[in-house]
Amino acid sequence: MSGNGAVWGRVRGRLRAFPERLAACRAEAAAYGRCVQASTAPGGRLTKDLCVQEFKALRSCFAAAVVRVLPSGTLCYFNVPFFTEGQDDPKGRPLGWTSLHYVCVCCPQP
């Protein structure tokens, strides 16, 4: 440990935000957990990168989940997506997302 411990403090700060960021990605975490649990059933074998797709989804959600704690104690999640309405194609099927925005949703801390 050197100096004023600034690097250490930053690393620990990031680690302290892990629980909130994980809470923002419950669906992906549950999907990954189900995949790993399925491999523990009789006849299954858990090998490296067996559930890599689910983990990639979880990882990207986790990385996008930036949580800031405002001075008043409320938590701000920066990864809540919403999309603008898409136009339908000539056959009437929706074209899906036309643009993806991220909005900051500030919820009071439970």
Partner 1 sequence: MRLLYRGEMLRLGVLCLWRRRPLVFGVPAKNLGLRKVASGVSPPGSTSPRALNIFDRDLKRKQKNWAARQPEPMKFDYLKEEVGSRIADRVYDIARKFSLALDVGCGRGYIAQHLNKETVGKFFQVDIAENALKNTLEMEIPTVSVLADEEFLPFRENTFDLVVSSLSLHWVNDLPRALEQIHYVLKPDGVFIGAMFGGDTLYELRCSLQLAETEREGGFSPHVSPFTAVNDLGHLLGRAGFNTLTVDTDEIQVNYPGMFELMEDLQGMGESNCAWNRKALLHRDTMLAAAAVYGEMYGNEDGSVPATYQIYYMIGWKYHDSQAQPAERGSATVSFGELGKINNLMSQEKKSQ
- Specify whether the CB–CB gap between 72 and 87 falls below 8 A: no
Give the other-Cβ count within 10 Å of 53's Cβ.
12
Q: Residue 24 contacts by C-beta under 8 Å, 6 or more apart in sequence?
A: 61, 65, 67, 77, 79
Strands of the chain (E only): list them.
67-69, 75-83, 100-107
Q: How far is the CB of 24 from partner 1 (least distance, A)?
A: 12
Q: Site size for partner 1, by CB under 8 A? A: 30
Query: Binding marks (x or -) toward partner 1, 46..85, rule CB under 8 A?
Result: xxxxxx---x--xx--x-----------------------
Using CB under 8 A, which of the segments 36-44, 69-77, 86-94, 98-106 binds partner 1?
36-44
> Applying CB under 8 A, which residues contact partner 1?
1, 8, 11-12, 15, 18-19, 22-23, 26, 28-30, 32-34, 36-37, 39-40, 46-51, 55, 58-59, 62
